[in-house]
Structure 1
């Protein structure tokens, strides 16, 4: 870890303290992948990390605070999603490639961070602004680039003025987010990833360009 890491009471944590803090976060992440968020307790996280609840509270006010810390890390990782859309062409076959790579990259990211994204969705649904802020930070990494792509196509006369770039980008990003969070549900319905991805890419391409993808 780099930079200063402070305890709840403001003290700067040393190397061992930073390692303990990170271990607690790693254990919490592991527990969230196998247990419902509301069932995770401080004592269980501390036990898995080989320390005590008192040590946990040195670094985090509660489970929620630790989850938000992990979520901030996921939001930083989401910066790479922007590369899937920013300054990419939406014309012809290049546009179809952009749509495919966006879907593949986003679904991969969502699967990698599935447990934290699920908690963010839960917190947002419950009206917690802290969770919603991080969730929007993640989605905006794509939404803003999609908006710019639509505006560029409008400037070239390829997309009609009746399309609101901000609204369309928001809708498409929400679609991506919703589908990514339901991948297991689609599989239960018999929809395999190899079938899901091209159909989702088709919706993204249609939403941005207003046209069918080239054959």
Structure 2
């Protein structure tokens, strides 16, 4: 990676500098999982990484810039969500399995990256266009895959022609991301068990894509 990572003043970071920079990002990511985003301070991140605030400022002008770096890395790896639909069938029982595995994969992805995704959602909701664009990139491959699946079924006459593949896909992605963001105790007070959520989401996804109830 030497030659691709630079300090704030434009100097190329060497191996040791890259390692320090990555450690700062790793520590920040860990802290976001246990503390509110607004409460995380440069001095706390530096202390956790075993270095100084001055060193932090060599690589990032502020905490927000470092958070954006973590989100950028997640967006770059977002293609994994699109992979949940590659080569999958939506016909018969195979379609039900596709819907279930899509929901499982998405929920697991969100749980694994919950800390940074919460920050991305918060900043996007507050109108920060940088985070809004990152959110679109992170979820974009899944939206694209669902759009193509619905469009393919529509072209074969299996889905009504008045259905908008892109709008339906966007609705499903919005539903999944909202449900995933409330996995931790989100079922409390709503009258359902946590184990019932994923099958329910899978049924809605199947219905949204195919226009039919799943064959189980």
2 CA distance for matches of 1:210 and 1:97? Answer: 16
Q: Which runs of 5+ in 1 are unaligned?
A: none
Residue 57 (structure 1) aligned with residue 57 (structure 2): yes
- Over the aligned positions, Cα root-mean-square deviation in angstroms equals 1.3
Residue 83 (structure 1) aligned with residue 83 (structure 2): yes
Corresponding residue for residue 203 of structure 1:
204
**Structure 2-normalised TM-score?**
0.96
| 8 Å CA contact 1:95, 1:205 repeated in 2 | yes
Residue 182 (structure 1) aligned with residue 172 (structure 2): no
Corresponding residue for residue 119 of structure 2:
119
Tell me which moved more, 67-76 or 190-199: 190-199
2 CA distance for matches of 1:127 and 1:49? Answer: 31
| 8 Å CA contact 1:104, 1:197 repeated in 2 | yes
Shift of 1:3: 5.3
Which one has the bigger helix percentage? 1
Alignment of 1:113-192 (within 5 A): 113-189=113-189, 191-192=192-193
> What SS does the aligned partner of 2:184 have?
helix
Tell me which moved more, 178-187 or 52-61: 178-187
> What SS does the aligned partner of 2:186 have?
helix
Q: Which runs of 5+ in 2 are unaligned?
A: none
- Deviation per CA, 1:145-193: give whole Å up to 9, x if none: 1000001101111000111111000000111111000112434336444
Corresponding residue for residue 27 of structure 2:
27
Shift of 1:80: 1.0
| 8 Å CA contact 2:2, 2:14 repeated in 1 | no
Shift of 1:2: 6.1
Question: Compared with structure 1, are the counterparts of its residues 108 and 2 closer, same or farther at alpha carbon in structure 2 (3 Å cutoff)?
Answer: farther
The number of residue pairs the alignment matches comes to 215
